[in-house]
Structure 1
Amino acid sequence: MKLLAILLILGAITTCERGETPVSDYSSAMNLDTITYNTIYSTYKEPSLQYRRFKHSDVDALIQERKDKAVLKVDPIGKSFEGRAIYELTYGGGDKVVMLWSQMHGDEPTATMALFDLFNFLEGKDDGQDTVRELLKSKLKLHFIPMLNPDGAERFTRRTAQSIDMNRDARAGQTVEGALLKERAKFLKPRYGFNLHDQNIYYNVPETSNPVQISLLAPAYNYEREINTVRGDAMKIIVGMNRLLQQYIPDAVAKYDDAHTPRGFGDNFQSWGASTVLIESGGRKGDTEKQEIRRLNFIIILNALIQIAEGSYGQYEVQDYEKIPFNASQLHDVVIRNLAVKTDSTAYQTDIAIRRGETTVDRDYFVRGRVEDIGDLQESFGYDEIDAKGLQFIPAKVSSMVLDSAAVLSQKDAFDLLKKGIMAVPVKSIGGSRASSLHSLPIHFFTQKQFFPTTSMDLGGTANFYIGDKAGKLYYAVFNGYLIDLSKDINGKLFKSRVH
């Protein structure tokens, strides 16, 4: 059923007062077909935000454009610790007040991108979706704070410039940004709240290898995790979100840990009378910049706002929220099973788990792979997995030739060296700028410092070695935590590394 046709009957929908559970026979938002949502998203996706490490200046420029269009009201509501402007954008004049805030952790930008997609949609017209906008405008008063921690975003770090976790500052208000959010909540008295975050990419759906792409939660307002009308309504909204998500990402949705956190904003918003939904953007293989998960954020937020405006989320049952599994934490970037490892004194067969950590360099980053776990890992999973039974650990070699710089090697040249067992090449210089030390080739470069390949399997140690047979034939390279099948073309795949 098409979105416009579904919403023609919305004039009869009853407005829900604070604290009431809406009763409605409408199921229109639940039944919106995914094709319509996909079309809306592709039409209104903000093209200037394609990578996670955007800055306050990027967001500021997009917010200034909103002033000219005059559809969303733009207000500077305060400044960060280091003086960067924090904005609130308002849409609609309805009775149901909704607050949505994103990027209180500076390195969690996925939903921020989705909010700017939503702003573009709200500013659209004559596209067959004006009935949706009229519904939202007439029933809701939406207050958006798209980047609450601009100082953290500037560095792509979780905490504020004061090194405080803002999401643990709802009680004390020791950060200027947290105090600002608390003040806005007390002033606006929202009936609904959306707390928008990113979680680490290593959560999986329990007993499966599926990464959790979206994690949801109705935070607990007390230690007993009681369910009152306010929290129950948040649970029902989440049930509607999950039903839609299952059409996009079946078996890739979970609940975030619901232990009560008295310092947390979600928990406090719930206690202040706002039915609060936490959305955590997780991981998806091949979606490094989280553009697909951004799309899911846009769709489920728009869907939830429609259902709040209609009151149609009242059709759902709290029991269905309880059926959503909690996050498990058994996922790694690479899991190698049954690998034979031989040292000077002993030989053994074991499983290896590897993770890659990111280090930000301005708007880019490099990774450093490390051995995360060793042993019986039957219950662990990897984005990439191999069974290495019959194969063994083989140390990497270092090239004897010295290059002028990394720029002289093509990706094919680097891959050819890798296939020969060479994982590192010395270079005379890294180039003229810090950024030039970053590269995307499947080879390590080093200058003054000697490069040391992985010679033993050590917990927390480097992940630069080969997997091959007893005759020395190489089947796989584990390069900086990336698993590379040496029998296949890498087809332009990028590896985030740097010159050492």
Structure 2
Amino acid sequence: MEKHLKRLREKSPDLFQLEVVGQSVEGRALYHLSLGTGPRHVLLWSQMHGDEPTATTALLDFLEYLRTHRQEPWVARILSELTLHSVPMLNPDGAERYQRRNAQGIDINRDALALQTPEARTLKALRDRLKPFIGFNLHNQSWRYGVGSTGRPASISLLAAAFDEPRSDNPGRVLAKKVCAVIRDALEPIAPGQVGRYDDSFEVRAFGDNMTRWGTPSVLIETGPWPSRAPDAPLIQLNFVALATALDALASGRAEKAEVARYESIPENDTSGIVYLMLKGVGLFGADGKPFTADVGISATRAVRDQGQGPALALVGKVDELGDLRVLGALETVDGSGLFAVPLSATAKEGDTLQLAQPRQHTVQTGQPAELMLLKPLEKPSTYRIERIIRFER
């Protein structure tokens, strides 16, 4: 990221200003990149949680797009009407470890008042210096989040952050709601049914809430799950479109004309509304060895694992739900009718046949790694064929 920011500055020194505005606990530079000549200032900050990198990539892509397409009318309008300020990675120590908190073990997004972390002090000082008229707080959210009761994944969730317990409105928060409405209308054709609204309960310690209270109404963009084993590219694209649309709407005045109702009618996040993989109506063996039928819900998270070529992001899965899961959605659903799910054996391959002489030794339980076999019973008693292997990283 540091090299990328410096390359942007070197390629277009007339467009970008780059400064180090602070240092992390471990001495890593906190960068502030600015561009544009407009009278209204916008602050965008990303990765205050070190394990939430999607928007950082999208933000860097967007900055590069502005550089290479600065003659396009809508880009030129943004650069003439607004001055953009970005902190693409507020928590580099956490990013280095791929963890939420900083090197002190503190959640920076709960440090807006105590200011115990150098990263929080840097962000607060930058806001106080710039006094931006709006801010964009960029995050990743849990892959269990669904859009209301639809069973659809909340690939992007939006929030106009509250500034008090009653969740009152003032002109700034109304503007943030209108910006969210504009983003919703841009994203829904790309990700139909996958835009949710984040919980707007007031969190007295959080930066988005306090930014709004300090006079910088904040738009929260939370990136969630995408229904594929390669989710990064489409999620980055959604963030790119969200940022481009919002900033264009602010520069053109279109945001002020948006309908607040389009924001307020976004379905709220269901915080445990989906699983990554659902095995629907699959056969299982109980501790007594007797078979029964249930749904199996597998959740997945991103984590750093060494897969033989150095550290890389991997998909870690576990059995999270078991029973009647009809109220949950899933990124992928497998019809388990006529099949049995059992833990994966070390040498198993799809198409192999095997015998389960002691079914009670092959139970599936919540909390165990998502390493399973789906078996089809054959005519010979206790004999099965492996139809599918399900394997995630541990």
Both proteins in one fold, TM over 0.5: yes
Q: Distance in 2 between matches of 1:223 and 1:454?
A: 52
1:277 aligns with 2:277: no
Does the 8 Å contact 2:350/2:386 carry over to 1? no
1:338 and 1:215 mapped to 2: Cα distance?
A: 31
Could you say which residue in structure 2 is the equivalent of 1:110?
54
Extract unaligned runs of 5+ from structure 2: 355-359
SS of 1:240's partner is helix
Unaligned runs of 5+ in 1: 1-58, 400-413, 423-452, 482-496
Match of 1:97 in 2: 41
User: Equivalent residue for 2:30?
Assistant: 86
More strand per residue: 1 or 2?
2
Q: How do 1:66-85 residues align onto structure 2 when only pairs under 5 Å count?
A: 66-68=8-10, 69-70=12-13, 71-85=15-29
Q: CA deviation at 1:386?
A: 2.1
Answer whether contact 2:287 2:363 (CA < 8 A) is retained: no
Q: Aligned equivalents of 2:302 and 2:133: distance in 1?
A: 38
Letter in 1 for 2:207: F
Equivalent-residue separation in structure 1 for 2:258 and 2:173 (angstroms): 13
| Residues 20-419 of structure 1 mapped to structure 2, 5 A cutoff | 59-68=1-10, 69-70=12-13, 71-125=15-69, 129=72, 131-286=73-228, 288-328=230-270, 329-343=272-286, 345=288, 346-361=290-305, 363-394=311-342, 396-399=344-347, 417-419=349-351
The one-letter amino acid of 1:384's match is E
1:265-314: CA deviation from partner (whole Å, max 9, x where unpaired):
00011111112100111111226351111112112211111111122211
Q: CA deviation at 1:396?
A: 4.2
What is the CA–CA distance in structure 2 between the aligned matches of 1:159 and 1:184, rounded to whole Å?
A: 21
Aligned residues: 377
Secondary structure of the residue aligned to 2:6 is helix
Identical residues among aligned pairs (%): 34
Offset of 1:478 from its aligned partner? 4.3
Determine the C-alpha separation between the residues in 2 that align with 1:466 and 1:308. 52
The equivalent of 2:357 in structure 1 is none
| Structure 1 SS opposite 2:377 | coil
Q: Report if the CA contact (8 A) 2:283-2:337 is conserved.
A: yes
Q: How far off its partner does 1:205 sit? A: 1.7
CA 1:312–1:124: 2 relative to 1, 3 Å: same
Counterparts in 2 of 1:249 and 1:356: CA distance versus 1, 3 Å: closer
Amino acid at match of 2:388: A
CA distance in 2, matches of 1:253, 1:60: 31
Whose radius of gyration is greater, 1 or 2? 1
Q: Could you state the TM-score of these two structures normalised by the residue count of structure 2? A: 0.89
Matched, 1:465 2:372: yes
Deviation string 1:33-52 (CA, Å, 9 cap, x unpaired) is: xxxxxxxxxxxxxxxxxxxx
Change (3 A) 1:357 1:216: closer
Counterpart of 1:179 in 2: which secondary structure?
Answer: helix
Deviation at 1:454, TM superposition (A): 7.8
8 Å Cα contact 1:91-1:141 kept in structure 2: yes
CA drift at 1:474: 3.1
- Aligned to 1:100, what secondary structure does the other structure show? strand
- Cα 1:375–1:92 change in 2 (3 A) is same
Residues 343 and 372 in structure 2, CA contact (< 8 A), matched pair in contact too: yes
In the alignment, is residue 477 of structure 1 matched against residue 388 of structure 2? yes
Q: Select 1:420's aligned residue among 352, 361, 364.
A: 352
* Deviation for aligned residue 1:370: 1.9
Residues in 2 aligned to 1:119 and 1:215: alpha-carbon distance in whole angstroms: 22
Q: Are the equivalent residues in 2 in contact too, given 1:151–1:161 (CA < 8 A)?
A: yes
**Offset of residue 395 of structure 1:** 5.1
Higher mean displacement: 134-143 or 237-246: 134-143
TM-score (norm 1): 0.71
Which residue pairs with 1:444 in the alignment? Answer: none
Q: Cα deviation per residue 1:147-198 (whole Å; 9 max; x = unaligned)?
A: 1111111111111111111111111111100111011111111111000111
Q: Would the alpha carbon gap of residues 145 and 357 (structure 1) be closer, same or farther in structure 2, given more than 3 Å must change?
A: closer
Tell me the secondary structure at the aligned position of residue 167 of structure 2: coil
Report 1:435-454 matches (<5 A): none
Tell me, in whole angstroms, the C-alpha distance in 1 between the residues paired with 2:175 and 2:313: 40
Using the TM superposition, give the Cα deviation of residue 248 of structure 1 relative to its aligned residue in structure 2, in angstroms: 1.3
What are the superposed Cα offsets for residues 415-462 of structure 1, whole Å, 9 maximum, x if unpaired? xx333158xxxxxxxxxxxxxxxxxxxxxxxxxxxxxx9821222123
CA contact (8 A) 2:342 2:364 kept: no
Per mean C-alpha deviation after superposition, the further-off stretch among 298-307 and 347-356 is 347-356
Name the CA shift for 1:475/1:237 in 2 (closer, same or farther; >3 Å): same
For 2:228 and 2:362, how far apart are their aligned partners in 1?
29
Q: RMSD of the TM alignment (CA)? A: 2.2
Question: Could you tell me how far apart the structure 1 residues matched to 2:65 and 2:303 are?
Answer: 34
Q: Distance in 2 between matches of 1:324 and 1:227?
A: 17
* Aligned 8 A contact 2:54 2:235 in 1: yes
SS of the counterpart of 2:144?
coil
Taking a change above 3 Å as real, the CA distance of residues 316 and 61 of structure 1, as seen in their structure-2 partners, is same
Q: Which amino acid aligns with 1:304?
A: A
CA positional deviation for 1:83: 0.5
Amino acid at match of 1:418: E
